[in-house]
Amino acid sequence: MAVAVFRAQLQRGNTRLLRTRPRLIRQASTSQTGRDWTIHPATRDAARDQVAQLAASPRRPLTLADLLRHGRPPLSKDALLASANFTLSLLPARLASRIHALRNLPFIVVSNPNVSKIYHNYLHSLSTLLPFQKRQITTLEEENKFGEVLADLVQTHTNTIPVLARGFLECRKYVCPADVTRFLDTHLRARIGTRLIAEQHLALHCASQPVRDGPPCSSDSTAVPSKYIGVIDTAIQPARIIRLCEDFVGEICELKYGVRPRLVIGGEPDASFAHVPVHMEYIITELLKNAFRATIESGNEREPIEVTIAAAPDVPGKEPPVQGDTDIGFQLDANDDAYPREAMGASNPSLQSITIRIRDRGGGIPPEVLPHIWSYSFTTFSEMDLNSENGNLDALNTISGSGGHLSSIAGLGYGLPLSRAYAEYFGGSIAVQSLFGWGTDVYLTLKGVGKVD
């Protein structure tokens, strides 16, 4: 009814309504699958034929080896241009896929200001990339301009998760939780890949610049440890990440409860492999938060939280398809002529998986809660919280957002689902074994690249 009234007002030329409604207007369609859209003129070209074409283009999974293929920075001119063109081959199709998915949401969801904002952010980013896609990046000047576009893309999509969370929360009466979970699971996994691809080239770009750093590089952009290739730490030690996260979570626990549990690390604390530190930090922080909170609130704070690290042996060979990369983008073969093998940092890297078990004596997960721990929940975020910018959320919940902008989703139940998305993106997993009345074991498996030359 509201849609019919809105269309009637449009036909009568109600210009004031046009100024106050979102620019995105879904038109009537005689087919359930065919949808016509009216987009703001500035983004119409990117929003029609090219979106459908790019979204339907053939795509293959992204792997960590792809991100390592161009070698250690500083890169040569040819390697830097190859990285830029490789990045350009991946991003447009991924952005178009997300635009297509957002278009398929119900009208009442798409018309929400928060969801509409994310939609237009994706349109904006795609529109800025399309001029580069018409031809190869062949000069350092073009590569530098491309870097500025990537920096804008990363900044534009910084708050995608909390803005989408707020939008779906406001629309929770009109869409079922199962549909929300399916959409968010796919969308947030796709966002992981898009952001990782863009940040990887940006990091390589900045680390390959001379002293005269300019945008988008910061003044300290070259002060990156040599073991890094872009945003990937080629010798990351899970034990070190666990200790850093333990300190952070423990301080919050002391502020809230006045006590913090002990944490002991066993197994193989010296194990290392190549992975993305930011992803690991988020996952470990979320898992330790749950373990610390459960241990203290069950009155067992004297019982240590046991962390065991087990490293599987390196397995030579090509990485298998990544099941977690649900919004896969176009990928050239490793032996493609456009990217010769001598330009790759690891021509045939070995695979390695590391499993981390976190065991607590926090009483376990109630049986009625256990089936829902992987769902995106919206019940713990009150209407008052919507207008308070998290001012009413307790301190321990906010550590779910240790990555900065993710703190805006504290209390929404995003912690475990997002952690699983990060773990599964490169073929890892998270499994939970709960013994109600006793405690919980969480098994985190991360698959990465072993020794990188």
Please write the tens of the pLDDT for every residue from 78-100. 999 999 999 999 999 999 999 99
Q: Mean pLDDT throughout 386-405?
A: 39
Q: Is the pLDDT of residue 423 over 90?
A: yes
Query: What pLDDT is attached to residue 43?
Result: 46
CATH code of the domain made up of 21-56+73-207:
1.20.140.20
CB neighbours of 130 closer than 8 A, spacing ≥ 6? 45, 46, 50, 92
Q: Which amino acid is at 204?
A: L
User: Can 21-56+73-207 and 228-449 be said to share one CATH topology?
Assistant: no
Express each pLDDT in 345-387 by its tens digit. Answer: 344 456 789 999 999 999 999 998 888 888 876 443 444 444 4
CA distance 100 to 281: 31
Percentage of the chain lying above the pLDDT 70 cut: 69
Task: Select from 206, 270, 212 the least CA-distant residue to 238.
Answer: 270
Query: What pLDDT is attached to residue 166?
Result: 86
Fold type of domain 228-449: Heat Shock Protein 90 (3.30.565)
Query: What pLDDT is attached to residue 109?
Result: 93
Q: Mean pLDDT throughout 119-131?
A: 93
Q: Which of 59-73, 360-374, 383-397 has the highest mean pLDDT?
A: 360-374
Of the pLDDT bands very low, low, confident and very high (cuts 50, 70, 90), residue 227 is confident
CA distance 256 to 267: 31
Can you give the three-state secondary structure of the chain, one letter per residue?
A: CHHHHHHHHHHCCCHHHHHHCCCCEECCCCCCCCCCEECCHHHHHHHCHHHHHHHCCCCCCCCHHHHHCCCCCCCCHHHHHHHHHHHHHHHHHHHHHHHHHHHCCCHHHHCCHHHHHHHHHHHHHHHHHHHHHCCCCCCHHHHHHHHHHHHHHHHHCCCHHHHHHHHHHHCCCCCCHHHHHHHHHHHHHHHHHHHHHHHHHHHHHHHCCCCCCCCCCCCCCCCCCCCEECCEEEEECHHHHHHHHHHHHHHHHHHHHCCCCCEEEEECCCCCEEECHHHHHHHHHHHHHHHHHHHHHCCCCCCCEEEEEEECCCECCCCCCCCCCCCCCCCCCCCCCCCCHHHCCCCCCCEEEEEEEEEECCCCCCCCCHHHCCCCCCCCCCHHHHCCCCCCCCHHHHHHHCCCHHHHHCCCCCHHHHHHHHHHHCCCEEEEEEECCCEEEEEEEEEEECCCC
Q: Is the pLDDT of residue 278 over 90?
A: yes
Query: What pLDDT is attached to residue 61?
Result: 79
What are the domain boundaries of the chain? Answer: 21-56+73-207, 228-449
Of the pLDDT bands very low, low, confident and very high (cuts 50, 70, 90), residue 134 is confident
Range in 41-45, 160-164, 239-243, 260-264 the model is least confident about = 41-45
pTM to 2 decimals?
Answer: 0.77
CA distance 111 to 99: 14
